[in-house]
């Protein structure tokens, strides 16, 4: 009888196990699922209909700089061009063709990925606060607008938050691997836009505060020196490759060198925006973020939290930068980011207060329902007042709105006597936050999806007009009607009139990008050109054989001298009537001889 122990054998299961799905389900926690929802929300606000609204002059200057490099031009990028976006647009235009979508795709992608970065700040902010900050970053009007704009401000926000994450990680865990990632984030910040240097200046005190309170103090040694050396090499390599499209566009180095000059130039050259208008813009467009951000700052200062103190300094410096002559709406991203991080802390604290109402849930629900109903009643009558066709507005609508507001106050006063102060104040804050949140969401949506020429949907005083996209459509029609050109817009000769000593308007040049454009200093009766494009300011002496069409390609407007109900109509609907000024282009076409 064989008494030797039998050897253990292992055989592969006949079917695949479910370890993969189980591991995925174990990884996909409710917290990560919530971040996924924030990512979807941010993507919907930033990517839907991205290429539909007209190009603004600043976007056209950036996009034309990139398209010129694709076509082999030796000219340097225009001043203020983002070198990082120049490289990305160059690659996008080279592979997929020049379009409004590809001009804005990379800033929109950066703004979408931004909402994932608070996940790395969970230990600094707290898990609920970091998650709330992610949603605030997703819906911020300023961040949505600049993410949907073909300029570099979105990269400045991404680089700044990434750098903050790396500084916090370094303070907690040491040099590796945060030095390398911090170098990459710093490079993105330096290649983004002039606002990137403003962001770096504003966040410097916060970084110093975090470094002062760090829990890990790496000792100098070969490992630390090696990590810092690698970080330096990563910084230089990222700046070099990121600004030149992997060395394909050496002119990007000129744009990189121009960014700090452009930032310093803002301290001496006026930017055309008043301090009052920018502060009013911040209050109206970011009301919800401003309220919860300031509340979070107060809570953080009471706790003596270094991160909150640093974010408060960041916010203060960002507001002080509005005092310089070259202030612009792009400075809004400098204050929006710390407001979102502070606001996350305030919302997390308020969520804890809501959980304390579990024993009075029905009372709180009844009070919230009544408050929301009266809020809707008031909003409807205010909207009717603003939409009133009467010159002075129908004051009856205003009276009804005031009645709804008075009933709301009376409801909460009675609830305070009946339910107690704790329930009343908590529910009252919820109704107030809802009243502030809904206009902010509407503003975030309209800033990126506004195609109405009589509705203001931009943070900029000068934006693209709805006539602009009609220019290439009309030229394509001319190409189809001209049999010698075979209906191809690339073969349609177009003479672009350029005033002597000036460069062609980037916005107009962008709309003519698909035609065979030849720049000429002027045109007269004997020019012999069939299609001539000029601005009305450029005097064109043409004979009777030409017919012209005028297109508004840009328009300017500011809320000055508005009175009721025009002021209410602008505050509620964004309607402003007619532009205060516009920029036009005229397409002259030689008519065939009879």
Digit-coded pLDDT (tens) for 62-90:
999 999 999 988 888 988 899 999 999 99
What is the per-residue pLDDT for 581? 83
What is the per-residue pLDDT for 212? 83
Cα(463)–Cα(557) distance, integer angstroms: 9
Cα(415)–Cα(431) distance, integer angstroms: 14
Query: Which is more confident, 195 or 25?
Result: 195
pLDDT tens-digit readout, 535-586: 887 766 777 788 889 999 998 887 766 666 667 667 766 666 677 788 999 9
pLDDT tens-digit readout, 507-517: 999 999 999 89
Please, which residues have CB within 8 angstroms of residue 398's CB and are 6 or more apart in sequence? 381, 382, 385
Residue the block writes with tokens 């603004």: 56
Instruction: Band the pLDDT of 322: cuts 50, 70, 90.
Output: very high
pLDDT tens-digit readout, 445-482: 877 776 655 566 788 888 888 899 999 999 988 888 87
Pick the range with the lowest mean pLDDT from 181-190, 336-345, 354-363, 482-491: 482-491
Residues 555, 582: contact at Cβ < 8 Å? yes
Query: Which is more confident, 492 or 395?
Result: 492
Q: What is the mean pLDDT of residues 484-502?
A: 80
Over 90: is that where the pLDDT of 18 sits?
Answer: no
Cα(334)–Cα(341) distance, integer angstroms: 12
Over 50: is that where the pLDDT of 11 sits?
Answer: no
Q: Which of 264, 290, 269, 280 is nearest to 329 (CA)?
A: 280
Residues 555, 462: contact at Cβ < 8 Å? yes
What is the per-residue pLDDT for 480? 83
Instruction: Band the pLDDT of 594: cuts 50, 70, 90.
Output: low
What is the per-residue pLDDT for 5? 45
Query: Which is more confident, 182 or 12?
Result: 182
Query: Which is more confident, 481 or 128?
Result: 128
Q: What is the mean pLDDT of residues 305-330?
A: 94
How many CB atoms sit inside 10 A of residue 10's CB?
4
Cα(454)–Cα(402) distance, integer angstroms: 28
Instruction: Band the pLDDT of 8: cuts 50, 70, 90.
Output: very low
- Which pair of tokens denotes residue 390? 């009467």
Cα(563)–Cα(569) distance, integer angstroms: 10
Q: Which of 347-356, 396-405, 449-458, 475-484 has the highest mean predicted lDDT (pLDDT)?
A: 347-356
What is the per-residue pLDDT for 577? 66
Q: Which of 374, 377, 382 is nearest to 414 (CA)?
A: 374
Residue spans of alpha helices (H) in 394-457: 395-418, 421-448
Q: Which of 105-119, 278-292, 414-428 has the highest mean predicted lDDT (pLDDT)?
A: 105-119
Cβ density class 528-554: b for 16+ within 10 Å, e for less: ebbbbbbbeebebebeeebeeeebbbb
Residue spans of alpha helices (H) in 6-147: 19-27, 30-47, 57-70, 83-96, 100-113, 122-125, 127-139, 141-147
Strands laid side by side in the 462-464 sheet: 462-464, 546-556, 581-590, 531-534, 493-497, 516-520
Percent above pLDDT 70 for the chain: 87
What is the per-residue pLDDT for 570? 72
Percent above pLDDT 90 for the chain: 49
Q: Is 528 helix (H, G, I), strand (E, B) or coil?
A: coil
Query: Which is more confident, 532 or 5?
Result: 532
Cα(154)–Cα(351) distance, integer angstroms: 30
Rounded to the nearest 5 percent, the helix, strand and coil shares of the chain are 65, 5, 30
- Report phi then psi at 556, rounded to 5: -125, 145
What is the per-residue pLDDT for 384? 73
Instruction: Band the pLDDT of 191: cuts 50, 70, 90.
Output: very high
What radius of gyration do the chain's Cα atoms show? Answer: 29
What is the per-residue pLDDT for 12? 46
Instruction: Band the pLDDT of 9: cuts 50, 70, 90.
Output: very low
Write down the mean pLDDT value for the chain.
86
Residues 460, 277: contact at Cβ < 8 Å? no
Q: Which of 588, 584, 589, 590 is nearest to 508 (CA)?
A: 584
Q: Which of 53-57, 154-158, 277-281, 577-581 has the highest mean predicted lDDT (pLDDT)?
A: 154-158
Q: Is 548 helix (H, G, I), strand (E, B) or coil?
A: strand
Q: What is the mean pLDDT of residues 96-125?
A: 95
Please, which residues have CB within 8 angstroms of residue 181's CB and are 6 or more apart in sequence? 162, 166, 169
Angle between helices 153-173 and 178-190 (to 10 degrees): 160
Over 70: is that where the pLDDT of 22 sits?
Answer: no
Q: Which of 165, 160, 155, 166 is nearest to 199 (CA)?
A: 160
What is the per-residue pLDDT for 536? 84
Tell me the whole-structure pTM to 2 decimals: 0.90
Residue 275 parent element (H or E): helix 275-285
Q: What is the mean pLDDT of residues 151-159?
A: 97
């Amino acid at each position: 009888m064989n008494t030797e122990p039998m050897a253990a054998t292992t055989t592969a299961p006949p079917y695949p196990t479910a370890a993969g799905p189980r591991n995925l389900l174990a990884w996909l926690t409710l917290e990560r699922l919530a971040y996924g929802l924030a990512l979807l929300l941010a993507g919907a606000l930033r990517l839907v209909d991205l290429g539909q609204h007209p190009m603004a002059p600043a976007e056209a200057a950036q996009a034309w700089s990139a398209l010129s490099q694709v076509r082999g031009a030796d000219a340097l990028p225009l001043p203020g061009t983002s070198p990082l976006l120049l490289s990305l647009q160059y690659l996008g235009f080279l592979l997929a063709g020049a379009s409004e979508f590809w001009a804005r795709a990379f800033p929109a992608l950066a703004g979408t990925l931004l909402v994932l970065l608070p996940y790395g700040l969970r230990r600094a902010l707290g898990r609920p606060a970091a998650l709330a900050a992610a949603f605030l970053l997703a819906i911020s009007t300023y961040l949505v607008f600049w993410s949907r704009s073909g300029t570099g401000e979105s990269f400045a926000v991404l680089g700044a938050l990434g750098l903050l994450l790396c500084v916090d990680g370094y303070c907690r865990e040491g040099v590796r691997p945060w030095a390398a990632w911090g170098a990459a984030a710093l490079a993105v910040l330096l290649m983004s836009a002039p606002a990137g240097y403003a962001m770096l200046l504003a966040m410097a005190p916060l970084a110093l505060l975090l470094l002062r309170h760090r829990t890990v103090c790496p000792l100098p040694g070969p490992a630390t020196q090696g990590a810092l050396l690698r970080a330096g090499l990563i910084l230089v390599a990222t700046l070099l490759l990121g600004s030149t499209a992997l060395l394909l566009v050496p002119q990007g180095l000129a744009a990189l060198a121009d960014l700090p000059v452009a930032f310093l130039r803002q301290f001496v050259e006026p930017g055309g925006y008043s301090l009052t208008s920018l502060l009013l813009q911040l209050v109206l467009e970011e009301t919800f973020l401003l309220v919860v951000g300031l509340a979070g700052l107060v809570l953080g200062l009471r706790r003596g939290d270094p991160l909150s103190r640093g974010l408060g300094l960041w916010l203060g410096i960002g507001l002080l930068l509005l005092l310089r002559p070259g202030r612009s709406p792009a400075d809004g991203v400098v204050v929006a980011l710390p407001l979102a991080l502070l606001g996350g802390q305030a919302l997390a604290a308020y969520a804890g207060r809501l959980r304390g109402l579990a024993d009075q849930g029905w009372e709180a629900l009844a009070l919230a329902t009544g408050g929301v109903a009266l809020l809707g009643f008031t909003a409807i009558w205010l909207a009717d007042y603003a939409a009133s066709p009467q010159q002075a507005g129908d004051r009856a609508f205003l009276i009804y709105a005031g009645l709804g507001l008075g009933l709301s106050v009376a409801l909460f006063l009675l609830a305070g006597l009946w339910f107690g102060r704790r329930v009343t104040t908590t529910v009252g804050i919820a109704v107030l936050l809802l009243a502030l949140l809904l206009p902010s969401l509407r503003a975030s949506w309209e800033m990126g999806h506004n195609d109405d020429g009589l509705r203001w949907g931009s943070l900029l005083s000068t934006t693209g007009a709805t006539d602009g996209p009609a220019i290439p459509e009309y030229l394509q029609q001319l190409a189809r009607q001209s049999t010698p050109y075979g209906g191809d817009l690339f073969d349609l000769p177009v003479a672009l009139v350029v005033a002597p000593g000036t460069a062609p308007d980037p916005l107009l040049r962008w709309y003519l990008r698909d035609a065979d454009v030849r720049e000429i200093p002027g045109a007269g009766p004997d020019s012999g050109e069939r299609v001539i494009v000029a601005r009305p300011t450029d005097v064109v002496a043409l004979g009777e054989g030409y017919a012209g069409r005028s297109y508004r390609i840009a328009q300017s407007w500011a809320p000055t001298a508005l009175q009721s109900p025009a002021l209410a109509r602008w505050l509620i609907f964004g309607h402003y009537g007619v532009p205060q000024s516009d920029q036009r282009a005229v397409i002259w076409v030689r008519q065939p001889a009879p």
